[in-house]
Amino acid sequence: MEQDIDYAAMEEKLRARIEALLDGRVVTMERQVRWRPSWFADVETAAGMKKVYVRGDRQSDVVPFPELKREADILRVLGEQGIPAPEIYGMCDDPVAIIMEASPGTRDVINARSDEERRSVARQYIESLVKMHRLPLAPFEEIGIEAPEGAEEIALAGVKAYMPLYQKNKVSPEPLIEFSLKWLRDNVPQQRTRASFVAFDAGQFLFSEGQITALYDFEFAMIGDAMTDIATMAMRHSYEPTGDAISSLIAHYEAVSGEPVDTAVVRYHHAVFATVACMQFAGAIKNPKPGDPHDVYMEWDIALRKTLINALSKNLGVALTEPQALTTVENKTSALNTMLLDSGRQLPADTPLQQAAVSAHQRLLEYNEAMQRCGGELDMWAEQEARAFVGECGSPGELDEKLEGYVQQAGPEDYGPLLQYFSRQLARRMQATANIAIGVSAQHIQDDILD
Write down the pLDDT at residue 5: 67
Query: What's the mean per-residue pLDDT of the chain?
Result: 92
With a cut of 50, say whether residue 2 has pLDDT above it. Answer: no
Tell which wins on pLDDT, 334 or 298. 298
Instruction: For residue 43, give the nearest of 69, 17, 68 by alpha carbon.
Output: 17
pLDDT in tens, 110-149: 999 999 999 999 999 999 999 999 999 999 999 999 999 9
| Nearest-angstrom CA–CA distance, 323 and 80 | 53
Write down the pLDDT at residue 182: 96
| Nearest-angstrom CA–CA distance, 230 and 217 | 16
Global confidence as pTM: 0.90
| Nearest-angstrom CA–CA distance, 320 and 36 | 36
pLDDT in tens, 179-229: 999 999 999 999 999 999 999 999 999 999 999 999 999 999 999 999 999
pLDDT band at 36; cut points 50, 70, 90: confident
Domain map (residue ranges) of the chain: 2-101, 109-280, 319-443
Residue 359 identity: S
CA 37 vs CA 40, 65, 91: distances in Å: 11, 17, 15
| 45, β-bridge pairs | 48
With a cut of 80, say whether residue 4 has pLDDT above it. Answer: no
CATH number of the domain located at residue range(s) 2-101 in this protein: 3.30.200.20
Residues 99-131: b if buried by 16+ CB within 10 A, e if exposed: bbbbbebebebeebeeeebbbbbbbbbbbbbbb
pLDDT band at 329; cut points 50, 70, 90: low
| 99, β-bridge pairs | 54, 90
Write down the pLDDT at residue 131: 98
pLDDT band at 332; cut points 50, 70, 90: low
Write down the pLDDT at residue 338: 79
CATH number of the domain located at residue range(s) 109-280 in this protein: 3.90.1200.10
Work out the percent of the chain whose per-residue pLDDT is above 70: 96
Q: Identify each DSSP E strand in 297-397 by its residue range.
A: none
